[in-house]
Amino acid sequence: MANISTEAGLRGAAPTVGIAATRWRAGALLEQGAAFTQLEAPTLGAPAAGAAGPDSATAGGERFDVVVIGGGQAGLSVGYRLAREGLKFVILEARERIGDSWRSRWDSLRLFTPARFDGLDGMRFPGSKRGFPTKDEMADFLEQYAAAFRLPVRTGVKVDELTRVGQEYVVTAGGTRYLAAHVVVASAGYQKPKVPGFAADIDPAIRQLHSSAYKNPSQLAPGGALLVGAGNSGAEIAIDLARTHRVWLAGRHPGHIPVKYDSAVAYHLVVPLVFRILFHRLLSVDTPLGRKARPQFLAHGGPLIRVKPGDLDRAGVVRVRRVGGVSEGKPVLEDGRRLDVDNIVWCTGYQPGFDWIKLPIFDASGRPDQYRGVVAGEPGLYFAGLPFQHSPSSAMIHGAARDARRVVDRIARRIRAGAAVQVA
């Protein structure tokens, strides 16, 4: 059943309203009610937000219109839009330097999209449009972007807790509290490395690490290496390791883009078609096709983008079935084979890692219950950069600007609505 647009009504017979549209409308009503309550608290005889006694959790904190948690591409894109609205905001980044989340990844990593698609609102990516930026070049670009637009980023600030007191959110980081009626969580959904429970039963003599800790082949012991997880990270690291180690790649093949990735055809046709149309528009939470594909993307990721099965074969990578358990300290495949390897790299993804958010906003899977970044039942709380927040591109560079525009537009409308109530 198709959803109607949530931004405009239709005349004539009452349309069928989908779940997403219903949630959006409910959130809008909650936001309007919260704004009215906060502004009219003195008239109604209730204490205004933040007006409690000196023992209140809000006493002594720094106040902003908006607090943004996370200073990657999503957080900086939100900051750019907030600055254009003239709002008072701060961006809190846990790393010591903007872009360090990119710098910390494996040495040979390059972006999957040419530089032509890697800019952010107001600034294109420097250099050749057809080149594929390295992870360090992407990190430096984010740093330059923040400087160019004078975005108020505070680095080295790790958020310990997000709570709400009345109509005001309290963000705690060490001994500092940041107070705001609006908070945008832009720290993505890749916070805690995920490994299966049976990893603890692996022989201690086998060196294990998660892909988030992998940098280059020198980290591994001599001998064979098993990569568990055949998605993009697993395939790319397998190619990197195959130069120095015998490599097995375990997992279901997720499919691949069947075109040479650095060809003229890919640059002019395939990349725009896949990233700008398929991953950006056709597959979204607002389309039947996108809603059907979303669980697959969240559970297993998308198809291989750069590496092809033939590339793995030519590099000498042995593709095997999924790892199903452990026997006598060795990994065992689903077909019963036991592999005698010296290293295991777990390319098994991440847990959301939002346990520091002390609010009832999570669904049964542990993910935030949100629609296109707007959290159901928590007026003023938003997300940016989540996997498939709107579409697959939400967690990619070129999707950051679109999702940021939507979230900041909702914030600005909420603030204007509150101001109109106050004037009236």
Lowest mean per-residue pLDDT among 139-148, 308-317, 330-339, 394-403: 394-403
Q: What is the pLDDT of residues 361-375, one digit of tens each?
A: 998 888 899 999 999
Contact in structure between 331 and 339 (CB atoms under 8 Å): yes
Tell me the mean pLDDT in the region 249-261: 87
Phi, psi of 282 (to 5 degrees): -70, -40
**Mind listing the pLDDT tens digit for each residue in 108-150?**
999 988 899 999 999 999 989 989 999 999 999 999 999 999 9
Which whole number is the average pLDDT over 228-235?
Answer: 95
- Find out whether 65 and 182 touch, Cβ atoms under 8 Å: yes
Residue with token string 């078609």 = 273
Ranges of each domain in the chain: 19-191+352-423, 194-256+303-350
pLDDT at 251 over 80: yes
- The whole-angstrom separation of Cα 67 and Cα 337 is 51
Mean pLDDT estimate for the chain: 86
Q: Residue 121: what pLDDT?
A: 95
Bridge partners of residue 93, in order along the sequence: 155
Burial, 336: exposed, middle or buried (Cβ in 10 Å; 0-12, 13-18, 19+)?
exposed
From residue 275, alpha-carbon distances to 8, 267, 369 in Å are: 28, 11, 26
Among positive and negative, which fits the CA dihedral 51, 57, 61, 67? negative
- Per CATH, 19-191+352-423 and 194-256+303-350 having the same topology is answered yes
- Does residue 309 surpass a pLDDT of 90? yes
**Percent of all residues in the chain with a pLDDT value above 70, rounded to a whole number:** 84
DSSP state letters, 326-391? EETTEEEETTS-B---SEEEE---EE---TTB-SS-B-TTSSB-EETTEETT-TTEEE-S-TTSSS
Secondary structure of residue 246 in the 3-state scheme: strand
What would the mean pLDDT of 56-80 be, rounded to a whole number? 90
What integer pLDDT is reported at residue 422 of this predicted model?
60
What type of residue is 232? N
- Give the least confident one: 22-36, 223-237, 302-316, 373-387: 22-36
Whole-number pLDDT of residue 203: 97
Q: What is the pLDDT of residues 264-301, one digit of tens each?
A: 887 788 888 888 888 888 999 999 999 998 988 888 78
Mean pLDDT (whole number) for 393-404? 90
**Sheet hosting strand 224-228, strand order edge to edge:** 207-210, 343-346, 224-228, 246-250, 318-320
Choices 3.50.50.60, 3.30.420.40, 3.30.450.40, 3.40.50.2000: CATH for 194-256+303-350: 3.50.50.60
- Count CB atoms within 10 A of the CB of residue 190: 18
Q: What is the pLDDT of residues 6-61, one digit of tens each?
A: 333 333 333 344 544 444 444 544 444 544 444 444 333 444 333 334 345 667 78
pTM over the 0.95 mark? no
What's domain 19-191+352-423's architecture?
3-Layer(bba) Sandwich (3.50)
